[in-house]
Structure 1
Amino acid sequence: MLIVYAVVVLGVLGLIFGLILDFASKKFAVEVDEKEAEILEALPGANCGGCGFPGCAGLAAAIASGAAPVNGCPVGGAATAEKVAAIMGVEAGSGEKIVANVRCKGTCDATKEKYEYSGIEDCRAAAVLIGGPKGCSYGCLGLGTCVQVCAFDAIHVVDGVAVVDEEKCVNCGKCIDICPKGLIERKPANKAVTVQCKSNDFGKAVKDNCSVGCIGCGICVKECPFDAIIFENKLAQIDYDKCKQCNKCAMKCPTKVIKPKERKKPAVAPKPAAPAKPAEAKAEEKPAEVKVEDKTEA
């Protein structure tokens, strides 16, 4: 009988506690915005933080509350923006693609080194040792810390300098945040003309350490017909809102530190084939004359 009583008591207690939990779950339930859940499902789930919020859930909550735009996800792009806009009942708008840009052209052949570095393969660790091994204290150290944090395989070290693959870049900003030199910046993807240097040294110091650095000559400023070159702290910078990609600054730059926009050569139409000449009629060959010797005896 004791076992039966124990079972009954436990059953009654379980029922009471279940009723209490059910009441508490309804009384203290947190209302979930259905739009927020739908937006979260529409987002790519990269949780990269490039939107400025703590992961996709944070962005979904911000969009649902109106604190973030529907095209706030840099990873999903236009396709995701359209889905989120449909959930919110607004227009997505055509946002311009923004990508990361490494402002350094100092490859292994173009720059000098202060010492041979043999420590941890991390730019932050190298930068602690008097700015790193490169002679230019502003240059890319090329140890690939930015490569390690990129979840989209959009940046690689080529010949000692980090290079961005703009097709893969989603503007998450992780490489920008981790670069100890502050070399990586954002730029519009449709603007190819860029100043690939961030040195604030005087021209002579730049030339002593790097053959492709900005020497602050100001020629690009004079050549630009659109006032798109800004000259600050001994360094040329481009105002992308004014730049028309005319390439004049790049063509006149003495150190070729300004990357030009590649111009596609117009396709040359193949020349029409000359009409075939009519076959010349072969001259009729005359039959060879056969000489007959006269054997008649005189």
Structure 2
Amino acid sequence: MNIIVITIIALCAIGIAAAIILYFVAQKFKVYEDPRIDEVEEALPAANCGGCGYPGCRGFAEALVKADDISNFYCPVGGAPVMSHVGALLGHEVKAADPTVAVVRCNGTCDNRPKTNVYDGATSCTIAASLYSGDTGCQYGCLGLGECVDACNFDAMYMDEKTGLPVIIEDKCVSCGACVKACPNSIIELRKKGPKSRRVFVSCVNKDKGGIAKKACAVACIGCGKCVKECPFDAITLENNLAYIDYNKCKLCRKCVVVCPTQAIHELNFPPRKEKPADKPTAETVKPMAKPTAEKAEKSEETKNETSDNK
């Protein structure tokens, strides 16, 4: 009986000692977590898309709480309202950022970019891009296998069967950037949504010289530089035979669209252009009908009289 009691007491003593040791160890190595992280995470949309540059909303919330300045942080899904709420929770002033949207910088439809071969392999753009340059003469354009559509978690994209290109559903796009990361040819870009969703951009990423690019695609940028000369705001640059429009400098004047010889520059959501009225003829250009002279009048009278005599 004494042995059992001693054993129980010994075990209890060991348990108490172990608990005390574990307590002090836990206190020593305890990781403090700011309670504001939970509040910020709750304010975020819980999309976990990674568009903010962090692994999920939890990681983004931790980065926001630890940062002294959150002006460079942005949640593309929640947008300005969510960031304003987060700023209020953390006591920071957040400037409203311009919303962005994904655009497809390729207009190589089946009509504009004829196929030169048939691809019969894995339906993955990444695999196809690693194997060869594509089934057309353009090695830079869309591969048409829809990997960007599969990457979109918001059903904001679909593949157009007629054109063979992805289409962005603007109202559903949250600008998370998943499609941008998924595209191996980097033809998808996040650009400013613009006032009234109006945008102007070069819908081409072909860096070949003009003749080669035009042969591969009828609407390719040929690097002629006309748009660069025409832009009054220095918003267009030409590098590696390819024009690019800086959306921060572009004022949407659309002068570049008119001068592009291959229609590689796209304008979205603009009203139809007004047709210029035809030039009206001026008084100088309209010649008045010559009045018959007296001699011509006499001759015509004589002709009439002769005709009547013959009858």
Superposition TM-score, scaled by structure 2 size: 0.77
Paired residue type of 1:188 = K
User: Contact (CA 8 Å) 1:59, 1:68: kept in 2 or not?
Assistant: no
**Aligned-partner SS, 2:263:** coil
- In structure 1, what is the equivalent of residue 35 of structure 2? 34
Take 1:67 and 1:132, find their aligned partners in 2: how far apart are those partners? 47
- In structure 2, what is the equivalent of residue 145 of structure 1? 147
User: Contact (CA 8 Å) 1:62, 1:68: kept in 2 or not?
Assistant: no
- The equivalent position to 1:222 in structure 2, one of 221, 229, 247, is 229
Q: Flag the structure with higher helix content.
A: 2
User: What's the offset of the Cα at 1:63?
Assistant: 1.3
- In structure 1, what is the equivalent of residue 53 of structure 2? 52
Task: Give 1:77-92 correspondences, 5 Å limit.
Answer: 77-92=79-94
Verify: 1:251 aligned to 2:258, yes or no. Answer: yes
- In structure 2, what is the equivalent of residue 95 of structure 1? 97
Where does structure 1 lack aligned partners over 5 or more consecutive residues?
A: 267-298
Paired residue type of 2:185 = K
Task: Give 1:117-266 correspondences, 5 Å limit.
Answer: 117-158=119-160, 159-190=163-194, 192-264=199-271
Where does structure 2 lack aligned partners over 5 or more consecutive residues?
A: 274-311
User: Contact (CA 8 Å) 1:251, 1:260: kept in 2 or not?
Assistant: no
Deviates most, 161-170 or 135-144: 161-170
User: What's the offset of the Cα at 1:38?
Assistant: 1.8
Take 2:16 and 2:212, find their aligned partners in 1: how far apart are those partners? 82
- In structure 2, what is the equivalent of residue 282 of structure 1? none
Between the two proteins, the alignment pairs up a number of residues equal to 266
Take 1:99 and 1:69, find their aligned partners in 2: how far apart are those partners? 22
Take 1:261 and 1:119, find their aligned partners in 2: how far apart are those partners? 35
**Aligned-partner SS, 1:36:** helix
Deviates most, 53-62 or 5-14: 5-14
Paired residue type of 2:58 = A
Take 1:181 and 1:161, find their aligned partners in 2: how far apart are those partners? 13
Take 2:265 and 2:192, find their aligned partners in 1: how far apart are those partners? 16
Deviates most, 125-134 or 8-17: 8-17
- In structure 1, what is the equivalent of residue 296 of structure 2? none
- In structure 1, what is the equivalent of residue 300 of structure 2? none
Superposition TM-score, scaled by structure 1 size: 0.80
Q: CA 1:195–1:82 in structure 2 vs 1: closer, same or farther (change >3 Å)?
A: same
RMSD over aligned Cα, in angstroms? 2.4
Paired residue type of 1:230 = T
Take 2:69 and 2:159, find their aligned partners in 1: how far apart are those partners? 34
**Aligned-partner SS, 1:37:** helix
- In structure 2, what is the equivalent of residue 108 of structure 1? 110
